[in-house]
């Protein structure tokens, strides 16, 4: 009896998974381009399907609504950025280094590819689609504020800082970073911001913060 050749382990499954991933990537790339070109309200799922080269059935199966599609695009940006734990723990590093680490992570998120353009879409459409703004805050800025709250509470307990209003102080620190790294690029297309610029902005923000709140930092 002739034996059949052995199938490569996971060969078919791996191929199918690769096809699914490629279609998803094509859909999200096409959707991002469509949202940037036509805005949130002006983009249709049918137009995205044509641009991606897939059937409308394939797109609707994966993303039944425009909101789900836009959320998936933003999710891809969050995934490409640094990890922000859901339940952040205070770092054991000295407060200066811990704050620099959070600031650099936040800056990397703000510089993720395509983030400025999609933020422009959200800003333009937030009055009609407030869920976009809520999702942006919950997945974008809030995790870093949460990390700062925990870190600053621990630093205050150790006597390294003296802060009467920790939520306000956390916003002040992130504000010093995004005011120089993100907002100019949101308003001026293709404005260059180098890694050296980012390091200097974060370091100076932390030093300014500690000059105001630090004790033994």
pLDDT reported for residue 7: 47
| Range name among 46-55, 161-170, 178-187 with the lowest pLDDT average | 178-187
Q: Which fold is adopted by the domain 11-64? A: Arc Repressor Mutant, subunit A (1.10.10)
C-alpha neighbours within 13 Å on the C-beta side of residue 211: 6
Which among 81, 72, 68, 67 has a CA at the least distance from the CA of 25? Answer: 72
Per the prediction, the chain carries an average pLDDT of 86
Q: With cut-offs at 50, 70 and 90, classify the pLDDT of residue 216.
A: low
Whether residue 82 is predicted with pLDDT greater than 70 in this model: the reply is: no
Q: What are phi and psi of 156, to 5 degrees?
A: -65, -40
CATH code that applies to domain 81-213: 1.10.357.10
Question: Which residues of the chain form CATH 1.10.10.60?
Answer: 11-64
Question: Which residues of the chain form CATH 1.10.357.10?
Answer: 81-213
User: For residue range 127-157, what is the model confidence (pLDDT) as tens digits?
Assistant: 877 877 887 788 788 899 999 999 999 999 9
pTM for the full predicted model: 0.75
């Amino acid at each position: 009896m002739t034996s059949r050749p052995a199938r490569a382990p996971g060969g078919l499954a791996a191929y199918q998974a690769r096809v699914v991933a490629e279609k998803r990537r094509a859909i999200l790339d096409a959707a991002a381009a469509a949202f940037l070109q036509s805005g949130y309200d002006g983009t249709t799922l049918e137009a995205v399907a044509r641009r991606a080269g897939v059937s409308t059935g394939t797109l609707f199966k994966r993303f039944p609504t425009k909101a789900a599609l836009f959320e998936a695009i933003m999710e891809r940006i969050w995934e490409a950025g640094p990890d922000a734990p859901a339940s952040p723990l205070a770092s054991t590093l000295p407060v200066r280094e811990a704050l620099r680490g959070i600031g650099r992570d936040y800056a990397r998120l703000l510089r993720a590819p395509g983030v400025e353009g999609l933020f422009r879409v959200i800003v333009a459409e937030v009055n009609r689609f407030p869920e976009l703004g809520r999702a942006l805050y919950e997945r974008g800025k809030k995790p870093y504020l949460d990390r700062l709250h925990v870190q600053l509470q621990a630093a205050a307990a150790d006597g390294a800082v003296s802060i009467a209003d920790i939520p306000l102080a956390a916003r002040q620190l992130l504000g010093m970073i995004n005011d120089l790294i993100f907002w100019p690029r949101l308003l001026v297309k293709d404005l260059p911001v180098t890694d050296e610029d980012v390091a200097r902005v974060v370091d100076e923000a932390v030093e300014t913060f500690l000059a105001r709140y630090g004790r033994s930092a």
